[in-house]
Amino acid sequence: MENRIRILFLVIALVLSAPLMAEDLIGDGLRSEPVVQPEIARREIVEPDIDEEDFEVGGYVGFLSIEDFGTSPVYGVRLAYHVTDDIFLEAAAGTSTADKTSYELLSGNVQLLTDDERDFTYYNLSAGYNLLPGEAFFFNRYALNSQFYLIAGVGSTRFAGNDEFTVNVGAGYRLLITDWMAVHLDARDHMFESDLLGEAKTTHNIEVHGGLTVFF
Amino acid sequence: MSQKLLKLVSRLGCCWLWLVPLVGQADEPPLRVEVTAPYIEMHTGPGDAYPIDQVVERGEWVEIIKRRTDWFQVHAHRDRTGWVHVEQMRMTRIAEGVPLDVKQYTLEDFKQRDWEFGFLGGDMDGAAVLSVYGGYSFNKNLSAELSLSQSLGTYSSEYLVDVNLVSHPFPEWRYSPFFTVGGGMINTKPDTTLVQTEDRTDSTAHVGVGLHTYITRRFFLRAEFRHYTVFTSREDNEDFDQWKIGFGFFF
């Protein structure tokens, strides 16, 4: 009986130590130096530094027809990022000053808004889709790339002292004078809810502008 | 980044002064690559719709002028210039055994990002809200953000400035959730068509949860929910919820 127990313990001890011994053997084997030392000449690969031009920045000047308040000059700046050759994202901000309503003009002295309240400023973020890429020919010497695009987005407009959530939709034409400079013609409808003249309504404020942008 | 800024300044300066022909291209010599495909096609513009008007054959060398989205403007000998798609540029090489390694942003780059910027829109207590934010990642799991929001309600508009810490417990996931906590200020401006009430500014605290997922190139989609508490000077604090969805890009 005693012998059996002793044998059992020995067997257990042997089984438990076997992996350790094996590891020692393998470890010794691996630690020896390889017979052949590989000689690989590694080539330095420098990631090429290619000029990327996905951003487009510029300014514009045009006319904004503020509903009920006449038409006034508008100035703005825009920054676009071209995601693919079809899609771009654009952030824009512009400012204008509202004219007088026909009521104010006819009645003489009535002022519906103070001078500060006549400031019409907006910002928006829009997504554009280049619809009709093409070439425009100029004096049978130059072929200029062009794109017609549809654009829509959301933003905020401050007018008459209030900030209003504004949706804009429009279309434009981009003519590339050089590889990095473009002329724009753009039409945009800025729509927001207003209760300025008594009842709440959706106002349409149509803007037409021309601009110049550079890619960088 | 600073090179890009320099280019922008010089180009804007050029427009201003109308000195268009004086613009110097990049100072470094352009990268030259050898065509290894039977031929590559040059389009007249950076887009699939522009016609192919030239091809460059195997063994010819071209200079890469610039890249716009997935298109490369290249210049080949005999004064040929055109735009080549990235897939065809992969079939060129810088030297024997060194193919042109075109930078493509992937999910891995998104996980390793340092800076991110984004635009979000949504609903805040029944009013439309627009936000812009910037963030910096300390490591894969922790980032700090600064956001500016404008809420446009029927009776008032609010401006919010928030600073928050964001924890990303599972940055490896394709749809990675995050948790955020922070504080800031809220400025409430009642509409002028209402009875005159005063502007007021209060401090706020918020907790939030969100999800973001990589889309393509430098873009990702982000959706989040935040619960705000406004510490008013009145008897009770105010609470409101904010839901937003939008996209961001990373550097």
Query: Could you read off the pLDDT of B98-133 as tens digits, one per residue?
Result: 888 877 788 888 888 999 999 999 999 889 999 999
Of B100, B152, B219, the CB nearest to A164: B152
Mean pLDDT computed over B173-194: 88
The verdict on a CB contact (< 8 Å) between B11 and A214 is yes
Write down the pLDDT at residue B22. 46
pLDDT tens digit sequence for A120-163: 999 999 999 998 888 888 887 888 999 999 999 999 999 988 88
Of B44, B70, B154, the CB nearest to A85: B70
pLDDT tens digit sequence for B3-33: 777 777 777 776 555 544 444 444 567 888 9
Of A55, A135, A212, the CB nearest to B44: A135
CA distance B174 to B176: 6
Can you name the residues that pair with B196 across neighbouring β-strands?
A: none
Task: Work out the minimum CA distance from A81 to partner chain B, whole angstroms.
Answer: 10
Residues in chain B within 8 Å Cβ distance of A53: 66-68
Write down the pLDDT at residue B21. 46
Write down the pLDDT at residue A110. 82
Give the model's confidence band at B179: pLDDT under 50 very low, under 70 low, under 90 confident, else very high: very high
Is the pLDDT score of A10 beyond 80? no
The verdict on a CB contact (< 8 Å) between B50 and A160 is no
Mean pLDDT computed over B65-77: 90
Give the model's confidence band at B191: pLDDT under 50 very low, under 70 low, under 90 confident, else very high: confident
Go through A154-171 and write b for each residue having 16 or more CB atoms within 10 A of its CB, e for each that does not.
bbbbbbbbbbbbbbbebb
Of A85, A161, A193, the CB nearest to B69: A85
Which one of B17, B20, B66 would you mutate to disrupt binding with A, by most A Cβ within 10 Å of its Cβ? Answer: B66
Q: Are B212 and B221 in contact (CB under 8 A)?
A: yes
Task: Work out the minimum CA distance from A119 to partner chain B, whole angstroms.
Answer: 14
pLDDT tens digit sequence for B73-102: 999 988 889 999 988 988 888 888 888 887
The verdict on a CB contact (< 8 Å) between A165 and B249 is no
Q: Are A124 and A153 in contact (CB under 8 A)?
A: yes
Residues in chain B within 8 Å Cβ distance of A155: 130
- Work out the angle at residue A84's Cα, subtended by the Cα atoms of residues A83 and A87, and round it to the nearest 5 degrees: 75
Instruction: Using a CB–CB cutoff of 8 Å, tell me whether A48 touches chain B.
Output: yes
Average pLDDT, chain B: 86
CA distance B139 to B213: 18
Write down the pLDDT at residue B20. 47
CA distance B125 to B113: 33
Task: Work out the minimum CA distance from B218 to partner chain A, whole angstroms.
Answer: 9
- CA dihedral (B79, B84, B90, B94) in degrees, to 10, reads 20
Pick A208 or B238 by higher pLDDT: A208
Phi, psi of B22 (to 5 degrees): -85, -5
Pick A27 or B78 by higher pLDDT: B78
pLDDT tens digit sequence for B126-157: 899 999 999 999 999 999 999 999 998 877 88
Report the candidate in B77, B100, B76, B78 with the shortest Cα–Cα distance to residue B89: B100
Instruction: Using a CB–CB cutoff of 8 Å, tell me whether A83 touches chain B.
Output: yes
Q: Which residue has the tokens 């989609």?
A: B221
Interface of A with B in 136-155 (CB under 8 A): 143, 145, 154-155
Q: In chain A, which ranges are E strands?
A: 55-65, 71-82, 87-97, 119-130, 134-138, 142-159, 162-176, 181-194, 201-215
Give the model's confidence band at A43: pLDDT under 50 very low, under 70 low, under 90 confident, else very high: low
Write down the pLDDT at residue B1. 62
Task: Work out the minimum CA distance from A53 to partner chain B, whole angstroms.
Answer: 5
The verdict on a CB contact (< 8 Å) between A57 and B12 is yes
SS3 (DSSP) at A153: strand
ipTM topping 0.95: no
Phi, psi of B77 (to 5 degrees): -70, 170
The encoded tokens of residue A132 equal: 């009709």
The encoded tokens of residue B239 equal: 């609470």
Mean pLDDT computed over B215-221: 86
Write down the pLDDT at residue B17. 56
Go through A182-194 and write b for each residue having 16 or more CB atoms within 10 A of its CB, e for each that does not.
bbbbbebebbbeb
Query: What's the pTM value of the predicted model, to 2 decimals?
Result: 0.76
How many Cβ pairs closer than 8 A exist between chain A and B? 116
